[in-house]
Amino acid sequence: MLDRDQVPDGPEVRKGTPQTLHSHILMSNGARTIDSLVPGSLHRLLAAGAHRTEVPSGLVSCSRQGWARRMPGAQFMVTCGRPLLDWTLRRLVLEDDRITLRSGVDVQGLDGDATRVTGVQAQDRASGESLRLDADFVVDATGRGSGANTWLQALGLPAVREVKIDIGLSYATRRYRAPAGAESGFPIVNVLPDPEDDQPGQGAVLLPIEDGQWIVTLTGTRGCEPPRDPEGFVAFARRLRHSVIGDLIANAEPIGPIHSSRTTVNRRRYYEELADWPKGFVVLGDAAAALNPVYGHGMSVAAMSASALRDVLRSDGLVAGTSRATQAAVAGAVNNAWAMATGQDIFYPNVSGRRPGLAARMQRRYVNRVTKTAADRPRVAAAVSDTFTLSAPLTRLMTPRIVFETLLGPTRPPLTGPPLTSRERESIVGSPQ
């Protein structure tokens, strides 16, 4: 394995993961997939302080349709700091003595031709030494900054089709010390923007993480970027559809500064469409499809991509069609998350990218109805949780029973406020709620 960073010996921030300081969620299917690829990883993460939150029972969520009731479900989300996740997995992987990690190496191109990749061209970042490393099979998992499209053109292949959907989303994130009594068992809290509001979208999420901390990320689309000053940060959170997250952090102890990011565009490169694909090369994860991180699907999709590679190799081994078959399987692993992210983002005002057509608008109306019904009906809530955690395809929302209950709609009036327990409400210091 080649890594352009000098990899830290501990759960520390590193330059090569630009989103590392912001909120990260590992969906249940992503967690299960990683645990199948790296056995024991989920246990190690939880032992190190990561939180496992059952959904929808552990989710306090406000969407355009109002507050969702907290009901039992079969899915979960794992939350922790990104440095802890990376370090835990890296240690487990490197326990296999067949694997060698070489840090501080920047891959600059591919060796081979349009029919076969035979290795990589690289450079040692410290010494400047040029390197050529031969390989039977090369996997590009270099993330959003991947140069695979350019590298393949240098071998004589055509440029791959690329699609971008950009809502100009900005992040601002800060960590807090959780109030006494809220260090464990506290729910995930989010207030979601409405892409059809005809105004810039504003939202926030609060995640419980290791060491008795909360990590809070505010989001704003083009024209309504969240502020970086402490007073403005809290005020922004209180101006959302509901003030609950701002109220929770108003008197909480902050840990460290506020960090911001704008690396949020949805970008997909359709490598699987190339008529010719070189043997011995595969593109995975964000290098193939980078998703708006606000939906929390990126890490899970990367895990599913790696699982697709594993399954093809187990079935076929390193034969002539392995690379093409894997690239097609990676596309399949991406499809649902891509549809969810872009199907939401295309409705924001001033979006850069394709505009929604009639089919997309009709689908959006149905999804809005499903979300409204899921706030009250357990069966529909379970279906939404299954799809959002990538544990079931989107067609799960179109089964006859779910369609029937969705058409019937909710059975009770909507909630008037966040469904926090009495103990959880005590975390809102000074609040009579």
Q: Which amino acid is at 158?
A: P
Task: List, in sequence order, the alpha helices (H) in 123-229.
Answer: 148-154
Q: Which residue has the tokens 């990676």?
A: 330
pLDDT of residue 429: 58
pLDDT of 433 reads 40
Return the pLDDT at 311: 94
Segment 57-81, tens digit of pLDDT: 999 999 988 999 999 999 999 999 9
Beta-carbon contacts of 192 under 8 Å, excluding residues fewer than 6 positions away, are: 61, 62, 63, 64, 203, 241
- Enumerate residue ranges in the chain where pLDDT < 70: 429-433
How many CB atoms sit inside 10 A of residue 324's CB? 19
Res 198: pLDDT? 80
In 3D space, the residue among 22, 12, 16 whose CA is nearest the CA of residue 3 turns out to be 16
Q: What is the pLDDT of residue 14?
A: 87
Distance from C-alpha of 328 to C-alpha of 143, rounded to nearest angstrom: 18
* N-terminal to C-terminal alpha carbon distance within the chain: 52
Name the CA dihedral angle for 7, 44, 332, 277, rounded to a multiple of 10 degrees. 30
Provide the pLDDT for residue 286.
Answer: 95
Would you state the structure tokens that stand for residue 120, as one six-digit string?
């990589």
Domains belonging to the chain, first-starting first, are 104-164+265-345 (3.50.50.60)
**pLDDT tens-digit readout, 128-183:** 999 999 999 999 999 999 999 999 999 999 999 999 999 999 999 999 999 999 99
pLDDT value, residue 318? 82
